[in-house]
Structure formats: C-alpha cells, structure tokens
Amino acid sequence: MDSIISRINERKFKQMNLDVLVFAAHPDDAELSMGGTIARFTAKGLQVGVVDLTRAELSTRGDVKTRTKETEAASKILKLKARENLGIKDGNISVSQESLKKAVTLIRKYKPSIVFAPYFNDRHPDHIDTSKLIKRAVFSSGLEKLKTSSSGKSQTAYRPKKIFYYMQTYLFEPSFIVDVSDYFETKMKSCKAFNSQFHNPVIKKDDTFISKPEFIDYVEARAKFYGFQIRKKYGEPFYCEENIEYDFSNFFY
C-alpha cells in the first residue's frame, strides 16, 4: 500500500483532482468500513473525497439535518478534501441512467487514481446496489461516447486505475489488509461523530442493527482480528476482482 501511495504522490494534479474517491450508500458507511484507511491516506498527504449516494432519510434514528451536521464533523476529522452527496432517494439506489451519469460526472470531475466501493454482497440491499452502480460507473466513465457535463462544461472520458471493495457486514476473504494501527483512534472519532446512530440510553427506542451497545465493540474487534492477520494491532480488509502487482520494497525499506 505504501508503494501505491508513493507513486500517487509523484503525480501532479490539477486543482480539483483527487487521489482517492470513496463511494458509500449512506453517511457513516465510509467511516465505519474504512475510516482508518482514509485517515492513513490523508495523513500521508493524499487528497481523498467521499461521495454518499443518499442522505439516509430512511434511517430509524436521526434525521437529514442531523446527519448532515454529523457528516460535516466526520469529514473534518478525516481531513477530507471533498464530500458530496448524489441525492439519490434512500432505499431506491439502482443502476439507472440518471444515477449512473451522476456517479460518472463526479469520477470525471475528480479523476481519482483509485475508487473504493462497498463489497458486492451484504445484508443491506443499498450496499449491494451501490456496489453495482459504482462498478458500472467506473467502467462507463472511460467511454468517450457517454456524454456528461459539470458546471456547464463538457467532460472528457476518464477511467480510474483500480476499484477496491471495502467490507461492511458480510465477510469475505481479503485481497489485502491495510494496517490502520496508528489511525484507528481517528477512525473511531469519525464514526462517533454520527452520534445519532449509535447507542444512547437516553433514547427510548428499540435498538437498530448499529445502535446496539455491542456494535462499536464489534467494529473494534473486527479491526483487531484483521490486524492480527498481518501482525499489526488494527487492520481493514479490502477485495479486488483483479490481480494486484506487489512491490517487495515494503520488506526492505
């Protein structure tokens, strides 16, 4: 991973270009799934943005106004350079032409080297649909005959180098694991910025999947499990559908 970071740092970007663009179905998905990796990227000087597809208006807890404030707080903690929302209706994500063009427009706008998306099998249908949409968007962004525009100007075709998938609820055999030991505290701060979503004994409502008291413990336990796999304290797992070139310099320097 450090070798990828080094190569990206050597590139010269125009003003709006990002190194990494993370797509998520809902605000807090990116933080919970790969907040440590994002914090590691930004600490190393990479330009990172997150795109939430919906405003999570169907969430049992909180409301759009509250989630928006929480999203702003989490973005500052992770030192994001951009945070956007596609405005797709919660529970209605699909690979429609309208949604596809929205995603492609942002990929062409920011020209990331790497895109992250949810793994394509999960308990939440929105996560699965987001994965399908973003995979198609990454491919379609490179098609010259698919026309999009931003701020009234026509965009040129652009395709990111790689798309990686992050883990949410369902497990998978990782293609690689990122050491986030030095950034786990930052990750948890960004997650807890979404205070409305997690356990609060004052709120007299039935617990949701993530508002159960043990959920935050689970997030930490999973990070410890994957960290142990690479002999580190905390780790975050990712999957790639393609083979990845490995740089042995990580072992020698």
At 111-149, the pLDDT tens digits run 999 999 999 999 999 999 999 999 999 999 999 999 999
Please state, as a whole number, how many other Cβ atoms lie within 10 Å of the Cβ of residue 3. 14
Closest of 178, 170, 220 to residue 32, by C-alpha: 220
In a domain, 156, yes or no: yes
156 Cα distance to chain centroid: 24
In a domain, 179, yes or no: yes
In a domain, 252, yes or no: no
In a domain, 180, yes or no: yes
User: Each residue of 152-185: pLDDT tens digit?
Assistant: 999 999 999 999 999 999 999 999 999 999 999 9
In a domain, 250, yes or no: no
Range of the domain at 179: 2-241
CATH of the domain at 165: 3.40.50.10320
Instruction: Please tell me the total count of domains within the chain.
Output: 1
In a domain, 188, yes or no: yes
Give, to the nearest 10 degrees, the angle between helix 29-43 and helix 184-192: 140
The pTM of the full predicted model, rounded to 2 decimals, is: 0.90
Closest of 79, 34, 89 to residue 59, by C-alpha: 89
- Helix, strand and coil content of the chain, in percent to the nearest 5, comes to 40, 15, 45
In a domain, 141, yes or no: yes
In a domain, 218, yes or no: yes
